[in-house]
C-alpha cells in the first residue's frame, strides 16, 4: 500500500515472522485448530512487537537527521528495551525515562529482565517515580542533548502514534498473505493491548484490504476501561487519517477488560495458568505482563465457546520480563 511504501523505514525486524499451528494447545482447549503469529521472533534484541513500530520510527528519526532516540516506559518496558537495541543497531544514542509505578514487585523487578538488557544495549537510563518527574527529566535530557549539538527524536510510550502503527498495518498485510498461502480463513485474531498502537495498526491494515477480521484485544494495562477505549479511538483516528482509510470500514474490535487482574504488571492466577499451559503444551514461552494475560483471555473464551477453529494468537513478545518475575513464575514449593 502506498502510505507504507512511501514511509522511510529502517530494516530492523526479521520479516515475515512465522505463523505456526498449536495443535496440542488447541486440543486441550477443545478448538479444532489454533495458530500463533510469532512476533516474539522479530529478532532484534530479544524480539517483540515494538520492533515493527521502530522500523518506521527509526526511519523517520534518520530522515529528520536525529542522533539520539528518547522514549518512555515502565521499569520492565519491552518497548524501552527494543528501542535501546534499535538505537544500537542504527548507530544512535538512546535515553530511556522509566517510571517506577508497579506496586508489590519483587527484587528481580528492579534489577533483571528488560532493565538488565537496557544497560547491555548501552542506553542511558533515568528512573523516576511519577509522570511529573518524567516530564522534568525529559526536558533536561533534550536540553542537554541540544546543547551538545545533537537532535533528539522523541518516541511516545509504546511507540504508539501513526508512524509506529504503520508497523502493524504492514503486519496485517503479512498475516493475510500467510493465511492465503495456507488456505486458512483469517477470521479472528486475539492479542494484548496497552498503548493500543498494535491494535489500531492491525484494524486499519485489515480495513485497508477490505478484510473483515474480528480482533479481540485483552486490556493488560488500564484499570479504567473507558480510558483504554478512548485511547484506542484516538490511535485509530490517527492511523486511519494517515492512511486515508475510511473509519466506517473498520471491522469488529472487542476490548476485553476482565483479564487485567489487580492491574498492569501485577501477576494473576489465570496468567500463570496460561503461561504454564502454553509452555507445557507447545514449548512456547509467554510473558507475565502482556501475552500471559492475553492467553488467559483466549483460554477463557475458548472454554466458553466464544472462539472457533482457526483463531490466531498474535504473540507480541515480552519474554525477557519472565526473569523479573522469578518469585511469581518460579516453582510454588
Ligand X SMILES: *Cc1c(COP(=O)(O)O)cnc(C)c1O
What residues make contact with ligand X under the rule CB under 6 A? 48-49, 78-79, 158, 160, 192-199, 287, 290-291, 316-318
CB of 158 to ligand X, least distance (A): 4
Residue closer to ligand X, measured from CB, 59 or 197: 197
Active-site amino acid positions: 77
CB of 255 to ligand X, least distance (A): 11
CB of 48 to ligand X, least distance (A): 5
Distance CA 69, CA 46 (A): 19
Residue closer to ligand X, measured from CB, 197 or 297: 197
Strand partners, 191: 217
> Hunting for cell 488467559 — which residue is that?
296
For residue 302, the surrounding DSSP H or E stretch is: helix 291-303
Side-chain-facing half-sphere of 114: CA atoms under 13 Å:
26
Residue closer to ligand X, measured from CB, 146 or 233: 233
CB of 162 to ligand X, least distance (A): 13
- What nine digits make up the cell of 269? 492466577
Q: Give the long-range contacts of residues 243-248, CB within 8 A, separation 24 or more.
A: 243/1, 243/3, 243/169, 243/204, 243/208, 244/3, 245/204, 245/207, 245/208, 246/207
Distance CA 203, CA 219 (A): 16
Distance CA 196, CA 187 (A): 20
Q: Which residues contact 38 (CB under 8 A, 6 or more apart)?
A: 17, 18, 19, 20, 315
CB of 75 to ligand X, least distance (A): 13
Residue closer to ligand X, measured from CB, 145 or 286: 286
Residue closer to ligand X, measured from CB, 47 or 59: 47
Residue closer to ligand X, measured from CB, 145 or 287: 287
CB of 135 to ligand X, least distance (A): 20
Dihedral of alpha carbons 118, 122, 123, 127, sign:
positive
Torsion, Cα 175 177 178 180, to 10 degrees, reads: 120
What does the DSSP 8-state code read for residue 214? Answer: E
Helices (H) and strands (E) in the chain, counts: 12, 10
Amino acid at each position: 500500500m502506498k502510505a507504507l511504501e512511501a514511509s522511510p523505514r529502517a530494516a530492523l525486524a526479521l520479516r515475515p515472522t512465522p505463523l505456526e499451528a498449536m495443535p496440542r494447545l488447541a486440543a486441550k482447549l477443545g478448538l479444532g485448530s489454533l495458530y500463533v503469529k510469532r512476533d516474539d521472533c522479530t529478532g532484534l534484541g530479544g524480539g517483540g512487537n515494538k520492533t515493527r513500530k521502530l522500523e518506521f520510527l527509526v526511519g523517520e528519526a534518520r530522515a529528520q537527521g536525529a542522533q539520539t532516540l528518547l522514549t518512555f516506559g515502565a521499569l520492565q518496558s519491552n518497548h524501552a528495551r527494543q528501542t535501546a537495541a534499535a538505537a544500537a543497531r542504527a548507530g544512535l544514542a538512546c535515553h530511556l525515562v522509566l517510571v517506577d509505578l508497579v506496586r508489590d514487585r519483587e527484587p528481580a523487578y528492579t534489577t533483571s529482565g528488560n532493565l538488565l538488557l537496557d544497560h547491555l544495549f548501552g542506553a542511558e537510563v533515568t528512573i523516576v517515580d511519577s509522570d511529573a518527574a518524567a516530564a522534568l527529566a525529559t526536558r533536561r535530557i533534550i536540553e542537554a542533548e541540544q546543547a551538545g549539538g545533537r537532535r533528539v527524536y522523541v518516541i511516545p510510550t509504546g511507540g504508539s502514534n501513526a508512524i509506529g502503527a504503520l508497523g502493524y498495518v504492514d503486519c496485517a498485510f503479512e498475516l493475510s498473505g500467510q493465511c492465503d498461502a495456507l488456505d486458512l480463513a483469517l477470521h479472528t485474531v486475539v492479542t494484548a493491548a496497552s498503548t493500543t498502537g498494535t491494535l489500531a495498526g492491525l484494524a486499519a491494515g485489515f480495513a485497508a484490504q477490505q478484510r473483515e477480521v474480528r480482533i479481540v484485544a485483552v486490556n493488560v494495562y488500564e484499570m479504567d476501561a473507558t480510558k483504554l477505549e478512548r485511547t484506542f479511538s484516538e490511535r485509530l483516528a490517527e492511523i486511519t487519517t494517515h492512511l486515508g482509510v475510511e473509519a466506517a470500514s473498520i471491522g469488529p474490535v472487542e476490548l476485553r477488560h476482565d483479564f487485567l487482574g489487580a492491574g498492569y504488571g501485577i501477576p494473576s492466577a489465570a496468567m500463570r495458568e496460561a503461561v504454564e499451559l502454553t509452555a507445557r503444551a507447545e514449548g512456547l514461552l509467554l510473558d507475565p505482563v502482556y501475552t500471559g494475560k492475553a492467553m488467559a483471555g483466549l483460554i477463557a473464551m475458548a472454554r466458553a465457546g466464544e472462539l472457533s477453529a482457526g483463531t490466531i494468537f498474535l504473540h507480541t513478545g515480552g519474554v525477557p520480563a519472565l526473569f523479573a518475575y522469578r518469585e511469581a513464575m518460579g516453582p510454588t514449593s
